[in-house]
DNA sequence: GCCGTTTTCGGCCCGACTGTTTTCAGTCG
């Protein structure tokens, strides 16, 4: 069992307890333990062997026993008992926006519905409105939510698929006969939602690879296999495909399997099908055709082939270019750690600056800071800065954009901060005009430096709010406001398409982790991938800049 | 169920909006 799988079980226990309306603090305890484990930087199995499970924050005697049982047996008696009472299909319904634990409980108890398909049928048959507290709008929410789920077509986020793919690839590479192995397909191109995990393996021993796949701890089943391919299902029910080629064909197959189809169609004529033994590397392939090397993230037939032919591809931003992180939370609001701990984690990444940007007072659930606390936080940061060498902590805030476009703090207070992020956390359903006006008003505020998670989308969960992007981007450009690429793999907001538009309009971008936990600083790589897919260069991204240049820009 | 310069039980625990109601329960960030 991986940490993530254990965390998912603990979260499901919390969900079922919530549906059963048990003590809310008990539910909270399971959620906290799940979150701690999700963010752990050590493997639970290792911790168990070292008898250190109880060191995990939020894990006491009871949860520890359950974790150990799950690690040994893949499940625990308590969880099995709960899922016998409330089937997992009932929990699937919680994914629908506007449908919470109480609603799900009533639907399950009164109508006996325990899966999404039956729920949709009941909503279409207008049976949901017969239940207490539910009406036409609840049915609409169900139908609308199901549409969103269907749109994603069973795809999973890169944040879920990539770690699993990396683990699988590293495992396969351990086989003696493997000379090369690479994650290919949409994961290699860095798409934010992917349908499966594809691994290309160079080996002459098919049988060894098949045995190896068969023994993988994350394997659920092998569905089919032939001389060059093994297909099946991995944990989290993600489909996989292992493609096995002889070593001399590896690089041409790497190109072919990375795709995308449209990139391939544009590049190759019908007659051209791999292998091409003369190809020694991808760079070699493009060079021999008189082109620059095209990075996997660009291979989407969005003008990259033409640009590569003219040697006009941008120099893409990379993780190594990043010098700081401008959107970080601490314990002062809803973060998990003290500022000094986040600073230490940033130093470990060799950053030269970070901005502490806790929430503002309106976001009460997250412990948003009021004027007084913000003042106190500045004193703490000043003290830390006087001790730190090599890293500067910028005094910032993620200030809420209120319903009418005003900000949660007065200008007088904002002007004294090093960095102001403005973002929306409420009133998602305003109409296009009002929503756009609201953001534009924030962008026009001379103290606002960055607009964070512009569209508010949550991948597989919620579409972005209705925005007139043309008008918004125009205002952002005019006011020299920076747009954020939020690196959280559930957000990746703005996406590559908007990022590229923004770049063309001269808008600068900040790639931020929005870290609520030390480990979250590592999410930066997902934002980088999105930036690369948006054709961004280091110069387009303000947090690749030297500190002095950045501070100058913020001060203007 | 966890946690304790509060110390082994009692605290943990927001607030606004939405939808279904006609005074409030459920959802969400």
A65 CA vs B2 C1’ separation (Å): 14
Task: Report whether pLDDT(A271) > 70.
Answer: no
A131 CA vs B20 C1’ separation (Å): 11
A73 vs A69: CA distance, rounded Å: 6
Q: Does residue A530 share a domain with residue A448?
A: yes
Task: Report whether pLDDT(A430) > 90.
Answer: no
User: Which nucleotide's C1' is closest to A99 (Cα)?
Assistant: B27
A60 Cβ nearer than 7 Å to chain B strand? yes
A116-120, A340-344, A361-365: range with lowest mean pLDDT: A361-365
Residue A250 lies in a domain: yes
Q: pLDDT tier at A270 (50, 70, 90 boundaries)?
A: low
Q: Does residue A238 share a domain with residue A113?
A: no
Residue A354 lies in a domain: yes
Protein-nucleic contacts, chain A 31-50 to strand B, CB < 7 Å: 32-33
Pairing of strands A324-328, A353-356: parallel
Phi then psi dihedrals of residue A307, to 5 deg: -65, -40
User: Which nucleotide's C1' is closest to A26 (Cα)?
Assistant: B1
Beta carbons within 10 angstroms of residue A437's beta carbon: 18
A57 CA vs B7 C1’ separation (Å): 18
A431 Cβ nearer than 7 Å to chain B strand? no
Q: Which residue approaches B21 most closely, CA to C1'?
A: A133
Domain with residue A452: its CATH number is 3.20.20.140
A335 CA vs B5 C1’ separation (Å): 23
Q: Does residue A460 share a domain with residue A396?
A: yes
A98 CA vs B20 C1’ separation (Å): 14
A404 CA vs B22 C1’ separation (Å): 29
A427 Cβ nearer than 7 Å to chain B strand? yes
A28 Cβ nearer than 7 Å to chain B strand? yes
Pairing of strands A180-184, A196-202: antiparallel
Domain with residue A193: its CATH number is 3.30.460.10
Q: Which residue approaches B29 most closely, CA to C1'?
A: A425
User: Which nucleotide's C1' is closest to A54 (Cα)?
Assistant: B2
Protein-nucleic contacts, chain A 125-154 to strand B, CB < 7 Å: 129, 132-138
The residue-averaged pLDDT of A483-512 equals 96
Q: Does residue A274 share a domain with residue A181?
A: yes
A501 Cβ nearer than 7 Å to chain B strand? no
What is the pTM for the complete model shown? 0.90
A210 CA vs B29 C1’ separation (Å): 46
User: Which nucleotide's C1' is closest to A22 (Cα)?
Assistant: B1
Percent of chain A with pLDDT over 70: 99
A554 vs A33: CA distance, rounded Å: 39
A77 vs A84: CA distance, rounded Å: 11
Residue A104 lies in a domain: yes
A110 CA vs B8 C1’ separation (Å): 42
Q: 3-state SS of chain A: helix, strand, coil percent to 5?
A: 50, 15, 35
Name the residue among A518, A466, A455 with its Cα closest to residue A490: A455
Long-range contacts: A376-385, Cβ < 8 Å, 24+? A377/A332, A377/A339, A378/A416, A380/A339, A381/A339, A381/A356, A384/A339, A384/A340, A384/A343
Among residues A97, A130, A152, which one ends one of the domains? A152
Q: Does residue A384 share a domain with residue A305?
A: no
Tell me the pLDDT tens digit for each residue of A158-180.
Answer: 999 999 999 999 999 999 999 99
Tell me the pLDDT tens digit for each residue of A437-446.
Answer: 999 999 999 9
A541 CA vs B2 C1’ separation (Å): 43
DSSP state of A239: E
Residue A205 lies in a domain: yes
Residue A383 lies in a domain: yes
Position with higher pLDDT, A328 vs A336: A328
In this prediction, residue A266 carries a pLDDT of 87
A151 vs A194: CA distance, rounded Å: 13
User: Which nucleotide's C1' is closest to A58 (Cα)?
Assistant: B2
A429 Cβ nearer than 7 Å to chain B strand? yes
In this prediction, residue A98 carries a pLDDT of 87
Q: Which residue approaches B15 most closely, CA to C1'?
A: A364
Q: Does residue A98 share a domain with residue A17?
A: yes
A8 CA vs B1 C1’ separation (Å): 18
User: Which nucleotide's C1' is closest to A104 (Cα)?
Assistant: B26
Residue A314 lies in a domain: no
Phi then psi dihedrals of residue A248, to 5 deg: -70, -15
A474 CA vs B3 C1’ separation (Å): 51
A299-335 exposure pattern, b = at least 16 Cβ within 10 A, e = fewer: bbbbebbebbeeeebbebbeeebbbbbbbbbbebbeb
In this prediction, residue A361 carries a pLDDT of 86
Q: Does residue A479 share a domain with residue A352?
A: yes
Q: Does residue A343 share a domain with residue A256?
A: no
User: Which nucleotide's C1' is closest to A96 (Cα)?
Assistant: B27
Domain with residue A68: its CATH number is 1.10.150.110
Q: Does residue A401 share a domain with residue A329?
A: yes
Task: Report whether pLDDT(A213) > 80.
Answer: yes
Those residues whose C-beta lies under 8 Å from the C-beta of residue A500, and which sit 6 or more positions away, are: A534, A535, A536
The residue-averaged pLDDT of A378-388 equals 93
User: Which nucleotide's C1' is closest to A55 (Cα)?
Assistant: B2
Q: Does residue A490 share a domain with residue A405?
A: yes
Report the SS3 class of residue A198. Answer: strand
Residue A193 lies in a domain: yes
Tell me the pLDDT tens digit for each residue of A10-53.
Answer: 999 999 999 999 988 999 999 999 999 988 888 999 999 999 99
Q: How many domains does chain A have?
A: 3
Beta carbons within 10 angstroms of residue A381's beta carbon: 22
User: Which nucleotide's C1' is closest to A129 (Cα)?
Assistant: B20
Cis omega (within 30 of 0) for bond into A185 = no
Protein-nucleic contacts, chain A 304-343 to strand B, CB < 7 Å: none
Residue A298 lies in a domain: yes
Q: Does residue A549 share a domain with residue A406?
A: yes
Q: Give the residue numbers spanning the domain of A503.
A: 319-555
Among residues A266, A283, A309, which one ends one of the domains? A309
A207 vs A204: CA distance, rounded Å: 9
A102 Cβ nearer than 7 Å to chain B strand? yes
Q: pLDDT tier at A506 (50, 70, 90 boundaries)?
A: very high
Among residues A152, A169, A188, which one ends one of the domains? A152
A87 Cβ nearer than 7 Å to chain B strand? no
A57 Cβ nearer than 7 Å to chain B strand? yes
Q: What is the DSSP string of A151-184?
A: HHTT-EEHHHHHHHHHHHHHHHHTSTT-SEEEEE
User: Which nucleotide's C1' is closest to A425 (Cα)?
Assistant: B29
Query: Strand B positions with any atom < 7 Å from protein CB?
Result: 1-3, 11-21, 25-29
In this prediction, residue A385 carries a pLDDT of 95
User: Which nucleotide's C1' is closest to A134 (Cα)?
Assistant: B20
Percent of chain A with pLDDT over 90: 75
A30 CA vs B24 C1’ separation (Å): 29
Q: Does residue A350 share a domain with residue A492?
A: yes
Tell me the pLDDT tens digit for each residue of A128-162.
Answer: 999 988 988 899 989 988 888 887 777 899 999 99
A63 Cβ nearer than 7 Å to chain B strand? yes
């Amino acid at each position: 069992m991986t940490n993530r799988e254990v965390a998912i079980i603990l979260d499901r226990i919390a969900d079922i307890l919530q549906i059963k309306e048990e003590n809310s603090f008990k539910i909270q305890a399971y959620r906290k333990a799940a979150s701690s484990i999700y963010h752990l930087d050590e493997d639970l199995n290792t911790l168990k062997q070292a008898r250190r499970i109880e060191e995990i924050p939020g894990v006491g005697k009871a949860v520890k026993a359950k974790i150990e049982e799950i690690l040994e047996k893949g499940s625990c008696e308590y969880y099995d008992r709960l899922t016998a009472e409330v089937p997992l299909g009932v929990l699937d319904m919680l994914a629908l926006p506007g449908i919470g634990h109480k609603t799900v409980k009533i639907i399950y108890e009164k109508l006996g519905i325990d899966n999404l398909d039956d729920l949709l049928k009941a909503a279409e048959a207008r049976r949901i409105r017969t239940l207490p507290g539910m009406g036409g709008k609840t049915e609409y929410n169900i139908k609308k939510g199901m549409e969103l789920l269907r749109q994603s077509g069973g795809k999973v986020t890169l944040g879920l698929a990539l770690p699993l793919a990396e683990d699988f690839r590293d495992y396969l590479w351990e086989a003696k006969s493997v000379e090369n192995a690479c994650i290919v397909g949409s994961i290699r191109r860095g798409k934010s939602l992917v349908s499966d995990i594809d691994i290309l393996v160079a080996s002459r021993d098919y049988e060894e690879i098949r045995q190896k796949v068969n023994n993988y701890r994350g394997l659920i089943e092998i569905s089919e296999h032939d001389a060059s391919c093994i297909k099946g299902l991995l944990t989290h029910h993600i489909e996989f495909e292992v493609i096995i080629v002889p070593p001399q064909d590896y690089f041409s197959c790497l190109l072919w399997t990375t795709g995308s189809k449209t990139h391939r169609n544009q590049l190759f004529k019908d007659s051209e099908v791999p292998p091409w033994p003369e190809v020694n590397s991808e760079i070699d392939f493009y060079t021999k055709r008189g082109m620059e090397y095209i990075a996997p993230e660009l291979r989407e037939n969005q003008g990259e082939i033409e640009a590569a032919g003219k040697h006009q591809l941008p120099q893409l931003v990379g993780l190594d270019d990043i010098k700081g992180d401008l959107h970080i939370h601490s314990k002062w609001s809803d973060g998990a750690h003290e500022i000094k701990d986040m600073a230490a984690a940033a130093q470990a990444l060799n950053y030269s600056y970070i901005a502490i940007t806790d929430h503002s007072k309106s976001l009460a659930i997250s412990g948003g800071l009021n004027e007084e606390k913000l003042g106190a936080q500045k004193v703490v940061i000043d003290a830390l800065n006087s001790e730190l060498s090599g890293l500067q902590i910028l005094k910032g805030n993620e200030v809420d954009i209120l319903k009418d476009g005003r900000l949660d703090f007065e200008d007088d207070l904002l002007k004294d901060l090093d960095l102001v992020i403005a973002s929306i956390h409420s009133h998602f359903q305003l109409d296009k005009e009002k929503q756009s006006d609201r953001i534009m008003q924030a962008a026009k505020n001379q103290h606002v430096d960055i607009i964070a998670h512009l569209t508010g989308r949550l991948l597989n969960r919620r579409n972005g709010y209705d925005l007139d992007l043309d008008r918004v981007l125009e205002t952002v450009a005019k006011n020299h406001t920076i747009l954020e690429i939020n690196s959280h793999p559930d957000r990746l907001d703005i996406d590559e398409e908007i990022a590229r538009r923004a770049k063309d309009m001269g808008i600068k971008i900040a790639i931020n982790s929005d870290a609520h936990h030390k480990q979250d600083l590592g999410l930066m790589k997902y934002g980088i991938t999105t930036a690369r897919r948006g054709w961004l260069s280091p110069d387009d991204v303000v947090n690749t800049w030297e500190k002095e240049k950045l501070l100058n820009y913020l001060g203007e």
